[in-house]
Structure formats: structure tokens, C-alpha cells
């Protein structure tokens, strides 16, 4: 019997790379979408996995919709990657962000509990939950001090998962992923925006790269490697929480400088716009990935500038 995995948020970069990984491991992969009318298969087409995925309509805010899907497939694994995932947008839409990112997690966990399924659940948590910290690197025991509505919503989802694990013995893993990039990243995220705009400047489509605060540091990694950690976390006999990160941080300014230099674009095309600054921001953030390496057997040793080279070349090759 093939294992069955459900992935919410399957159209995003993580969902697509995870679907590819699970397909290679002979899973039946079921992807959830709120509406098939607005559903995009472009990431699946790019990875060559369109024929390997079953698509079902399911609104994670509709309890009965989740129950129906769980009864139909009785999945071995459920990867909850669906979320309003933009920090910037969360400041503009705090109520919608908090409602969706918490209620969806609660509905999934409660459905699995009521149906008494053995489904293992992966909840996509975020390094943004840590926010203001006193000591770096952060680890699984570092207290949260979220600095955005998005971070607050993810911290809430995290604690809901812990509560269901401890109170009801639901197998729920929180994967606390730090920034991770790929060609499939949405264009509103920083690294993708920098690379894409750099290519547009080089081709004469745009004149400048306009950014907010770039004198902050972040821990960046490569998405295809990070989804493997997600999968490994659900292959364990015991549910737990794991930091998935590179263990190093880099300045956003250095990422821009590297990209513009790689594309032979002068630095005077960079415009720092104070109106794009966030209301609150972390000066530096990086994590300790030793637990994931020791317990999951996960390996990650990439320099982000090596990853950046891969991303620039892939973006350039596919630029339209």
C-alpha cells in the first residue's frame, strides 16, 4: 500500500518541492486548493510532476470540508503549508492573517482528533516567531517575542500544535523554518525581488531596485533541501519541534551587492526607500540546526552565496 500525503498550500514553492520529493518516494500526493478556478499548476509543470498530484477543493476555514477530505483519503501524513505568509501584508491585513493562520491549524488538528486518525501532521512554523531575542543563535528552547501580526499568528499555530500533541496525543510536528529560497519563490519575497529586478534592469525593463531596510541580517537557505527536513520530521516515532536553518546570517545589503555585481549592474541603481521600512524589524536572526541534524539525520552545509548563484542562473535561464 502506498502512503498517502495531503499538502495544503501545495502551489507555493515548498508545496511543489515537497510534492516532488513525496512523488519520488512513491506516495499518493493530494494537494488542497480553496478554489480550482484560481488554481495554478505552473510550479508542477516546471518540476514535471503535474501528473503525480491529485487536486481537491478544501477550505481550511470550513470544518466540514476538512472532515470530508480526511474521511476520503485517511492520509498517513498531512503537511499544513497553507497560510497568509507575507510579513508585510500582515501589517496591512492583521485580522485576516490572524484568523486564517490560527483557525486553519485548529480545524485540521481537531478534525484528526475527532476522527481518531493516525495521521501525522506537519505544521509550518516560522523563525519570525522569535522576533526580539537577547541571544543568538536561537534554538528550540528560545522564547518567542513576535514582532508582526504574521509572527503572532504563527506562534499561535505553533502552540495549538503543541497543545494537541500534549493533551490529545495527536502526532503534530512544528517545523520552524528560517528563510529559504528557490526559483519557485513568490515575487513579493526579498531575494526573488532582488534577482528579478536585477534582470529587468539589465534588460532595460526597469531603471532601479527600490528596497526598504537592508542593514539587517537573516538566515537564508535552499528550499528543496528544507522540504526534505519536513518529510524526515514525520518519519520519526515521536512528534517534536525542529529548527530548520543554515546556522548563519547574511546582510540583505550583501545579497543585493552580490546580485548586482554578478549581473554587472552599477550600485547606483539601488534606491533605499524609508517608506518601505517595516514598523518593527529584527536586526539579526539565525538559528542552531544541530537538533535537526542529530535527530532527523538532515544534512545542510550550503553557503547562501552559492545558493544565490544557483538562483540567479535559474532565474536568468527562465526569464520571460
Q: Of residues 8, 23, 104, 126, which has the active-site annotation?
A: 126
The answer to whether the beta carbons of residues 130 and 144 sit under 8 Å apart is yes
| Dist CA 258 CA 201 (whole Å) | 15
Give catalytic status of residue 251 as yes or no.
no
| Dist CA 167 CA 202 (whole Å) | 56
3-state secondary structure (DSSP) of residue 14 = helix
Which residues make Cβ contacts (< 8 Å) with residue 147, sequence separation at least 6? 128, 131, 132, 280, 281, 282
Q: Of residues 17, 27, 122, 150, which has the active-site annotation?
A: 150
Give catalytic status of residue 126 as yes or no.
yes
Residues in the chain, total: 320
Q: Of residues 8, 27, 65, 128, which has the active-site annotation?
A: 128
Give catalytic status of residue 150 as yes or no.
yes
| Dist CA 190 CA 196 (whole Å) | 10
| Dist CA 230 CA 283 (whole Å) | 27
Place of cell 552545509: 301
Catalytic positions = 126, 128, 150
Amino acid at each position: 500500500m502506498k502512503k498517502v500525503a495531503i499538502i495544503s498550500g501545495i502551489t507555493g514553492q515548498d508545496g511543489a518541492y515537497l510534492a516532488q520529493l513525496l512523488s519520488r518516494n512513491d506516495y499518493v500526493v493530494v494537494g488542497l486548493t480553496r478554489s480550482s478556478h484560481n488554481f495554478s499548476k505552473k510550479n508542477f509543470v516546471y518540476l514535471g510532476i503535474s501528473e503525480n498530484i491529485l487536486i481537491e477543493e478544501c477550505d481550511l476555514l470550513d470544518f466540514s470540508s476538512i472532515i470530508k477530505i480526511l474521511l476520503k483519503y485517511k492520509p498517513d501524513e498531512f503537511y499544513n503549508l497553507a497560510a497568509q505568509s507575507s510579513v508585510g501584508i500582515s501589517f496591512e491585513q492583521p485580522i485576516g492573517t490572524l484568523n486564517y493562520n490560527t483557525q486553519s491549524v485548529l480545524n485540521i488538528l481537531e478534525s484528526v482528533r475527532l476522527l481518531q486518525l493516525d495521521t501525522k501532521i506537519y505544521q509550518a512554523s516560522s523563525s519570525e516567531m522569535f522576533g526580539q531575542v537577547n541571544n543568538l543563535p536561537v534554538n528550540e528552547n528560545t522564547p518567542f517575542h513576535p514582532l508582526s501580526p504574521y509572527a503572532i499568528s504563527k506562534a499561535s499555530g505553533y502552540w495549538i500544535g503543541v497543545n494537541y500533541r500534549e493533551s490529545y496525543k495527536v502526532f503534530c510536528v512544528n517545523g520552524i523554518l528560517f528563510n529559504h529560497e528557490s526559483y519557485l519563490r513568490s515575487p513579493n519575497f526579498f531575494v526573488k525581488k532582488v534577482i528579478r529586478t536585477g534582470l529587468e534592469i539589465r534588460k532595460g525593463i526597469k531603471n532601479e531596485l527600490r528596497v526598504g531596510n537592508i542593514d539587517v541580517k537573516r538566515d537564508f537557505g535552499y528550499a528543496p533541501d528544507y522540504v526534505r527536513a519536513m518529510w524526515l520530521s514525520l518519519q520519526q516515532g515521536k512528534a517534536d519541534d525542529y529548527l530548520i536553518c543554515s546556522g548563519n546570517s547574511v546582510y540583505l545589503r550583501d545579497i543585493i551587492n552580490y546580485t548586482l555585481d554578478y549581473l554587472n549592474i552599477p550600485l547606483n541603481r539601488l534606491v533605499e526607500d524609508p517608506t518601505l521600512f517595516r514598523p518593527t524589524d529584527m536586526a539579526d536572526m539565525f538559528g542552531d540546526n544541530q537538533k535537526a541534524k542529530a535527530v532527523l539525520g538532515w544534512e545542510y552545509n550550503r553557503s547562501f552565496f552559492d545558493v544565490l548563484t544557483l538562483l540567479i542562473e535559474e532565474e536568468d535561464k527562465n526569464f520571460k
